[in-house]
Structure formats: C-alpha cells, structure tokens
Amino acid sequence: MNQIELLAWSLTELAAHLRTGQISSREATRAVLDALDGPGRDLGAVARLDPERALAAADEADRSRLRGKELGPLHGVPLAHKDMFYRAGQLAELGAAMMRGHRPDVTATVLARLDAAGAIDVGRLNMVEFALGITGHNDHTGHPRNPWDRRRITGGSTSGGAAAVAARLIPGTLGSDTGGSIRYPAACCGLVGLKPTYGRVSRFGCMPLSHSLDHVGPLVRTSEDAALLLQVIAGYDPEDPTTGRRPVPTYLAGLRRGVTGLRLAVPEGGLDDALDAEVVVAVERSLASLADSGMRICRVAVPAFGPLNALRRLIMLVECAALHRERVETARGRYNPQTLSRMEPGFPVSGVDYARALGARAPMLRRFCAEVFADADILALPTCAVGTPGIADADTGGDARFTAIANRLGTLVGPFNFLGLPALSVPAGLDSAGMPLGLQLVARPFGEAILLRVARALEDAGGALGPPPTARD
C-alpha cells in the first residue's frame, strides 16, 4: 500500500479498510508514525511520539482481528492528540517548558473511550502553552506551521493537531475549545472542528484552562469523521460531574437524512466586527449551496456578541488565573509572553464580578435560544471575520496588540463557549491567497446531530476542500 494513499484516507475510510483487512493496523500505524516523525516535525506539529508502545498496540489489534474479535469502531486506527490529554504514567507537558517531565497519574476519560473503541495512541501533538491562545504561537515548542501556507498561523490552541490533520499525517485528533480552540484552527486549516454542548463530553483527565468554559471535541476532515469520533467520546462520566445523562444519539445514522425543510438563520446584527469582503462572499456561497440543498434561509436579529464575549473573557481569565497563581508568583519568567498577556488581567478581577458573570450565563442562554431558534433550527455565521494572518504578523511578543489580535480572531466563536451551545466549523472555500475560510454552524443544546447533517450537505454540494498543496506531493 502506497503510504501517501493510505494517509489520504479519512478516519472513516481508514477504519473501513482496516475492518476489511485491506491493510493491517501495523501498516497504518507505521505510516502515521513515519509521517509525524518527518513532515510532522518539519511543520512543528509533534510534541513526542511513542512508536514502541504504539506498534505493540497495533500488533495486538491485528492479532485480535485474526481471532475474530472486533475491538470497536476504531479497531486499529492510529491517532495522536493534543499534549493536554493525560495518560497515567505518560508524559503530558501542556506546551509549557515548566511542565517538562510531568507525568499525571490518571487517564483522560476520552482516551479511555478511544482505547475501548480500539484506537491506537501514537503520541502527543504541540499546542499553545497551557492552551491559552488562539493564534498558535509558542516560543517554547516553536510555532506550528499551516500546511496551506507555512508562513501563516494554524490557529490555536489545538495548533499541532490542526497542522497534522490538514497535512494528511493523521486521520483525526481531539482538541479542546475554551474560546474557539477547535473551531478556529479548523477554519484556518480547512477542517471540520466540532465543539459539542457543554457537558456532552467528559473533561476528566484533560488539562483544565477554565472549568466553566472548557469543551473537548473532534478536529477531523469530514462530517462523517466528526460523527464517528463524537459517538465514541460522548456521554455521561461519573468522574466529571458536569456531564449530563442525556442519551447519546447515533450520529452516523442521521448524517444522510438530508436538510430539506430545515430552517437556517443568518444574523442581521450582533456581529461586533465588520467582516472582510472575502469572508462575506464565502459565507453567501455556502448559504446558496444549502438553499439549493433544500434548506430555508432566513435573517434574524441575534443578541449582541459584545456582552457575551466580555463575560466569557472575564470567566476564563479568573479561572485561569486561579489555576496559575502560584506558578506565576514563583516562576513568572518561565511563561511565554503571550500567555502572561492573556492571563494577568484575571488576577485583579473581584469575586463579585466573577459571580455575576457566572450568574448571567443561564438567562442569557435562554434569551439567545428564544430569539435565535424560535423559527430556526441552525444559526450560520463565519467562524472568523478575517482571513488567516501570518505568523510574524500575529507575533507581538505579548504586548497589548497581541490581546487585541486574539480577541478579534475569537470574536465570533467565543460567545458559544460562554453559552455552552454546540458549534461546528466547516470549510467555506478559499480566499484569494489560497487560504481556507470557515462557516460556523450553531444549534440548540445537544443539537450536534443536526449540525453534522448540515455540514454533510455542504460537503455533498462540493464544499470539501481536499488536501493542501503540501500534502499533494
């Protein structure tokens, strides 16, 4: 099997080829390890690999299949994940120099569920230090490079994961999203990124950034891949009391139901920043495709995003500052400047303001759903108001400009962390520079299935981008 052909398969395709015996798990795992160890390191995507452990697991997966024992829907599929998902006794360095040698004593629930589904864990991918940053910059580990243009950011904080999936080095990965850290990299790199409803997926054993806002979800190439990964990781976890007991739908089964008659709302107002002209064109093109597929498009007034973003930032900064206060006091010089510039405003915030921000969440969610989803099933808007900036353009050394840039890039994704609503970014074509743009789809709580249906309709209408130029050679 040609390695390039193997790596070009989507997650779902790879799982199917493994299931039929067209390739072995050892072949797939060896191909992924070689790709990550070569082009992956060149892109700055890799934190560390564990080839011995991964190949041993792959061999066991192959032996199990020969014995007629199927381990699950990801039997023998090699995956790598952001360096913040804990596996007991294994390194988890969180993109931070001060965490080198850190070995947690617990395993993340999402990794345990992937294990139970038969997946092979091959290693960890680079990330923004402590996941605090939307651009992908990291002075300690190096800035991952966007496979569509190595001079541009991948988005963050799931930066290495976005680069690796887009470059066809791995078929999929898990990321975290506290203010857009799955969806924004998906938009920058031409991928599908899903932030599930708050409480749909366990965060146990995942590095916390802001416990009121953190979400875990898939970053993949297709809606079908997202449905497959979400099916595996979603559901109640007694180790995470924020997870709900609502049954998990069969997401894959609903993908092909089509979108005829579904109602899609487009904001008339509430977007705080003017959109780049090319972003507007891309969104309108995607909306036209969905209308041709049978969706009913309407314009709705949405609550202003400014207050939602302000409340999200306040909560995130306070919760992050509380987690890092002791480290900042004793090891301030070991942080990236960009990390400190985002974290330090949280220290002087009063407890009263923090409590008021938390208390505003439920009523603002009720109001948003009542106003937006009264006559609509889905809300559609850009993932980002602007195109993907260059690495150098967004690297200000952590001064006030960096915070302004980060806030601008996250202004359309952050509100849905505060509200806890499910939100998905799907490719919306390329801009004149050849860089991907993203369309963001948002639904009511636990509406992931309908988001995936709409994303699939866009793909069926020709919205999938294919690999970046660097992955076609």
Residue 243 Cα to chain centre, angstroms: 19
Secondary structure class of 74 (helix, strand, coil)? coil
Asked whether 95 and 128 are in contact (CB, 8 A), the reply is yes
| Cα 326 from Cα 228, distance rounded (Å) | 40
159: left (phi over 0), alpha (psi -120 to 50) or beta: alpha
* Active-site residue identified among 24, 25, 157, 223: 157
| Cα 325 from Cα 344, distance rounded (Å) | 9
For residues 5, 7, 12, 13, the Cα torsion angle rounded to the nearest 10 degrees is 10
* Active-site residue identified among 10, 24, 82, 202: 82
Annotated catalytic, 195?
Answer: no
* Active-site residue identified among 10, 25, 181, 289: 181
Q: What Rg, from alpha-carbon coordinates, does the chain have?
A: 21
- b/e per residue 280-317 (b: at least 16 CB within 10 A): ebbbeebbebbeebebbeeebebbebeebbebbbbbbb
Residue 54: which residues within 8 A CB-CB, separation 6 or more?
29, 33, 78, 120, 121, 122, 123
Asked whether 187 and 437 are in contact (CB, 8 A), the reply is yes
| Cα 396 from Cα 403, distance rounded (Å) | 9
Residue located via tokens 């470059």: 167
| Cα 128 from Cα 135, distance rounded (Å) | 8
Q: Give the Cβ contact number of residue 332 at 10 Å.
A: 11
CA-to-CA dists, residue 207 to 108, 157, 227, 340, 363, angstroms? 9, 12, 24, 18, 29
Annotated catalytic, 69?
Answer: no
| Helices and strands, counts by H and E, the chain | 17, 11
Residue among 472, 78, 12 at smallest CA distance from 223: 12
Secondary structure class of 201 (helix, strand, coil)? strand
Residue located via tokens 């080198």: 100
Annotated catalytic, 82?
Answer: yes
H or E segment and range at residue 428: strand 423-430
The torsion angles phi and psi of 203, rounded to 5 degrees, stand at -105, 5
| Cα 124 from Cα 129, distance rounded (Å) | 14
Which residues form the catalytic set? Answer: 82, 157, 181
